[in-house]
């Protein structure tokens, strides 16, 4: 396994209710943060205008676009898309098209390409689709999630959505098992431990467990104090063949991953 191909995806939220306050930015402040993330070695910047934390409610398309549009416009004007890949965390076709028309290259869809229009737009712009698994929706996904077998159930979901993506002409796919999206702590731990299983599809795997509540369930801590737990999960995910890590703390992840890579590339005597 070549661990040196790990890519860090930095998170920028353009909303008032994302679960981690320090990831919320608007307009020019978002651009300053994006530039810092680029300097800190992020390879992808993931912008989102709607919170997907457990219990969060959807917002109108107009509201979502009003949140992300100023940032998308500044990214386009300053040609920041020439320095790093930009991803939009959205499942609204109109919002996605606005971003893809202005230099964004990745559709990060928490509904896993449920909407045919999202598939059409992703294919139209030859964008990469991140297919994420979520049971139910953010409003009720953490109300007693159940699976016959979490690994095999998600495998079936990926099979179906990969086939759908191909039918619409989507060529580039990334898979995300959706840590914390309709899963218990045990489900999350099983998925991280067995992540390598999903490599048989032949696509890159993305993991995003940054500061999530599963850390608090293992070791009670506030959101602000969950960086060590985040790093532990993400390094284990890389060990189990994740190659894209979605996180809030780019600089700290870069250092941890570089040390991890150095250890794993050392000669075995």
Question: What does the domain layout of the chain look like in residue ranges?
Answer: 3-265
Q: Are 224 and 248 in contact (CB under 8 A)?
A: no
Strands 244-247 and 173-176, how do they pair?
unpaired
Give the pLDDT confidence score for residue 19 in this predicted structure.
46
For residue range 15-48, list pLDDT tens digits in order: 765 544 554 566 678 899 999 999 999 999 999 9
State the residue for tokens 């028309």.
Answer: 101
Residue 245 pairs in a beta bridge with 8, 207
**pLDDT tens for the chain, residues 1 to 269:** 555 589 999 999 987 655 445 545 666 788 999 999 999 999 999 999 987 766 667 789 999 999 999 999 999 999 999 999 999 999 999 999 999 999 999 999 999 999 999 999 999 999 999 999 998 666 665 777 889 999 999 999 999 999 999 999 999 999 999 999 999 999 999 999 999 999 999 999 999 999 999 999 999 999 999 999 999 999 999 999 999 999 999 999 999 999 999 999 988 88
Neighbouring residues of 152: CB distance < 8 A, sequence distance ≥ 6: none
- Residue 255, CA distances (Å) to 110, 242, 259 in order: 28, 17, 6
**Which fold, 3-265?**
TIM Barrel (3.20.20)
β-pairing verdict for 106-109 and 128-132: parallel
pTM recorded for the entire structure: 0.93
What is the pLDDT at residue 174?
A: 98
Whose tokens are 């086939």? That residue is 163
User: What is the tens place of the pLDDT at every residue in 216-230?
Assistant: 999 999 999 999 999
> Does 246 qualify as catalytic in the annotation?
yes
Q: Has 53 been annotated as catalytic?
A: no
The tokens of 190 are what?
Answer: 């099983």
Q: Catalytic pick from 143, 246, 251, 258?
A: 246
The one catalytic residue among 212, 226, 239, 251: 212
């Amino acid at each position: 396994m070549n661990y040196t191909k790990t890519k860090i995806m930095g998170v920028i939220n353009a909303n008032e209710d994302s679960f981690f306050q320090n990831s919320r930015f608007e307009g020019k402040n978002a651009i300053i943060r994006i530039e810092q993330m680029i300097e800190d070695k992020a390879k992808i910047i993931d912008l989102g205008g709607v919170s997907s934390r457990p219990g969060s409610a959807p917002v109108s398309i107009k509201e979502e676009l009003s949140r992300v549009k100023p940032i998308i416009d500044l990214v386009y004007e300053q040609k920041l898309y020439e320095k790093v890949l930009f991803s939009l965390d959205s499942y609204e076709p109109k919002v996605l098209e606005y971003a893809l028309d202005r230099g964004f290259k990745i559709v990060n869809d928490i509904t896993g390409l449920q909407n045919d229009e999202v598939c059409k737009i992703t294919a139209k712009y030859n964008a990469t689709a991140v297919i994420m698994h979520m049971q139910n929706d953010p409003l009720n996904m953490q109300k007693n999630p159940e699976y016959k077998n979490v690994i095999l159930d998600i495998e079936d979901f990926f099979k179906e959505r990969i086939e759908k993506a191909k039918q619409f002409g989507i060529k580039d796919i990334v898979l995300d098992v959706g840590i914390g999206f309709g899963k218990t702590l045990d489900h999350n731990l099983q998925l991280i431990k067995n992540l390598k299983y999903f490599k048989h599809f032949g696509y890159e795997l993305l993991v995003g467990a940054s500061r999530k509540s599963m850390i608090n369930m293992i070791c009670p801590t506030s959101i602000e104090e969950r960086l060590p737990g985040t790093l532990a999960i993400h390094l284990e995910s890389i060990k189990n063949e994740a190659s894209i890590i979605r996180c809030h703390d780019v600089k700290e992840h870069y250092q941890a991953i570089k040390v991890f890579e150095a250890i794993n590339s050392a000669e075995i005597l």
